[in-house]
Structure 1
Amino acid sequence: MHIKQLESLAHALARSGVLCLRFTCRAVNFLYRTRAYSAVVDYLKTHERYAPNSLFLGGRSMGARTAVAVCKLMCDKQKDAVQGVLCLSFPMNVPGKPQTHVERSRDLLALSQTPVLFVSGTADNMCEQNLLQSSMHAMKSPSAVHWVKDANHGLAVRGRTEELVLEEVNPQIIAWVLQHK
């Protein structure tokens, strides 16, 4: 939960007037994470005081895959349930195994209209640029990507502080959210 990127983004979103709920699921099991994420979203949507009138889902790495899976489940029930999905460091493939992108892109390809924003590093060994670009081209949903030059899977860039990278990334995300709100 205390990942600096996510804390920084939550604060930046809040300063822009966007309520941001963060939570963590320590389990590594993808199906368990999806059920837990779905339960949190279902609770939020029925909460008397905080029920959102627009909903964006997001995550980092495996959390991004989970957010896409939850979006698919929600949109299967109600077409416009989610206004957008934010995928930070989406793990498109297992390092050295590009063929794993087929399984990992399945839920992305199943989305039909929900906009998706990817934020990934050009040196991310878990998100080969050509595989992400190919999946984006095949998606029915509108998608965009912000590539962080020379960033790895953690969006770290040699020679740049984390704060400088976040100063680049956060405004991109906020502008995208506000555009699709």
Structure 2
Amino acid sequence: MDSLLELLFDLMKSPPITISLTLLFGYGLHKAFKRKENASQPEKRAKEKSDSGSESSSSLSDDGSSAGDYCKLVLIVRNDLKMGKGKVAAQCAHAAVAAYKQATKHPSILKAWQNCGQTKIALKCDNETEMLSLYEAAKAIGLLSYVVRDAGQTQVAPGSLTVCSVGPGPCETIDEITGHLKLY
């Protein structure tokens, strides 16, 4: 038993393991808190059920989707630019902040996304043409979307379109547009 504990402690010294365990622990705490919060408000949920007239008490959001749907934000990175990891991280951060700013104008979408843990997924596309067609398709069905234009001070040419954000919004709707793309 002692050797097993020593092995576990040695594994926990590894940064990837430590980060993973911390994230899992945090997620577990989040879920436990939500469960406790939901259990302590049965009267409120019962009232919402009776007011809505159905089993689902989720309200419709600005885009007609259910605010109770699982939501996410997708960040589509251009693979042809061959940006370094740090550059991709910075460009994705620009896209995520812009998406958040857009979502503040749609409180029900923002709240649904926040209640889902603000999921963010990084995907890759082949080139600018593909990224712009995904952007246009997202706009056409009413999803929030934004394209980052780089200033060109480091790795890419000025004005390069680097990352497209789609969402936050309902997963099923976003997957209609981005479901075929691979993880970055």
Same fold (TM over 0.5): no
Rg (Cα) greater in structure: 2
Relative contact order higher in (CA < 8 Å, ≥ 6 apart): 2
**TM-score tier after normalising by the smaller chain length:** under 0.3
More helix by share: 2
Higher strand share: 2
Q: TM-score, normalised by structure 1?
A: 0.22
